[in-house]
């Protein structure tokens, strides 16, 4: 197996943390998003959607999309469990993992890409080739603020996003929050539960990556 990775990008980091939490050693191949290598023919042959990460199996087939990569790796390497060990927990983890991506990661990405000249013809990840729209900078920022409110409400009632233990939900939320911090959208000071959670999950050996 080989993971097509991009060291500076927040989505591939989700897969890298998952792999490290599983104590696996998987070959990584760097593809630079900043240099646009993910949209060049060589990589489009591997993943037509142009997104990173992608997991290539021994027979050459490719699994794109982070949650699918999570699912495949967990099926082959069930321990430690990160996707749930009963139907309700699995659904809860998937729900918060998804929320953290769509309302967190994508909102930060909307703010960041639309305010950055480098992404003027690729304002969304991958190949769909959309242009930046200045109003999305403001919208992205407002969405991130809402995302933090939702995290805070949840983490006031549970130590981790899916409940009592660390799961894939926390991996994606952590990557979204760290992406936010990097681009100037840090967790607001009054979100104490979120700050405590962030400090706890950031201390794990698996997230040092």
Q: Name the residues that contact a second copy, by CB under 8 A.
A: 48-49, 57, 61, 63-65, 67-69, 71-72, 75-76, 87-88, 90-92, 94-95, 98-99, 102-103, 127-131, 133, 135-136, 139, 142-143, 146, 150, 153
Query: Closer to a second copy at the Cβ: 37 or 72?
Result: 72
At closest approach, how far in Å is the CB of 159 from a second copy?
18
Instruction: Measure the CA–CA gap between 112 and 102, rounded to whole angstroms.
Output: 15
Question: Whose Cβ is closer to a second copy: residue 99's or residue 197's?
Answer: 99
124 or 207: CB nearest a second copy: 124
Helices (H), 24-167: 41-46, 66-76, 87-99, 106-114, 135-155
Please, what is the minimum distance in Å from the beta carbon of residue 22 to a second copy?
Answer: 14
Find where tokens 């900043």 sit. Answer: 34
Instruction: Give the separation between CA 8 and CA 11, rounded to whole angstroms.
Output: 9
Report the alpha-carbon distance of residue 72 to residue 87 in Å, rounded: 17
State in angstroms the smallest separation of the CB of 43 from a second copy: 16
Residue 164 half-sphere exposure toward CB, CA atoms < 13 A: 2
CA distance 190 to 196: 11
> Listing from the earlier edge strand, what are the strands of the sheet with 54-56?
27-30, 2-5, 54-56, 62-64
β-pair partners for 62: 56
Q: How far is the CB of 112 from a second copy (least distance, A)?
A: 17
DSSP secondary-structure letter at 188?
P
Least gap, CB of 206 to a second copy (angstroms)? 21
Element (H, E) at 54: strand 54-56
Q: Least distance in Å: CB of 94 to a second copy?
A: 4
């Amino acid at each position: 197996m080989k993971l097509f990775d991009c060291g500076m990008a927040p989505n591939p980091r989700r897969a890298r943390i998952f792999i490290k939490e599983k104590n696996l050693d998987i070959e990584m191949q760097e593809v630079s998003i900043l240099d646009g290598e993910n949209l060049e023919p060589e990589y489009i042959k591997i993943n037509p959607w142009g997104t990173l990460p992608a997991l290539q199996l021994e027979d050459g087939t490719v699994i794109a999309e982070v949650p699918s990569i999570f699912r495949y790796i967990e099926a082959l390497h069930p321990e430690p469990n990160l996707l749930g060990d009963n139907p309700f927990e699995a659904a809860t983890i998937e729900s918060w993992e998804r929320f953290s991506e769509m309302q967190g990661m994508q909102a930060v990405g909307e703010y960041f890409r639309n305010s950055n000249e480098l992404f003027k013809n690729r304002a969304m990840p991958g190949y769909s080739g959309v242009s930046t729209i200045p109003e999305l900078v403001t919208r992205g920022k407002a969405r991130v603020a809402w995302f933090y409110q939702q995290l805070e409400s949840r983490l006031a009632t549970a130590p981790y996003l899916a409940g009592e233990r660390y799961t894939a939900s926390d991996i994606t939320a952590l990557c979204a929050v760290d992406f936010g911090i990097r681009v100037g959208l840090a967790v607001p000071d009054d979100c104490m539960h979120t700050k405590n959670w962030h400090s706890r999950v950031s201390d794990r050996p698996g997230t040092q990556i």
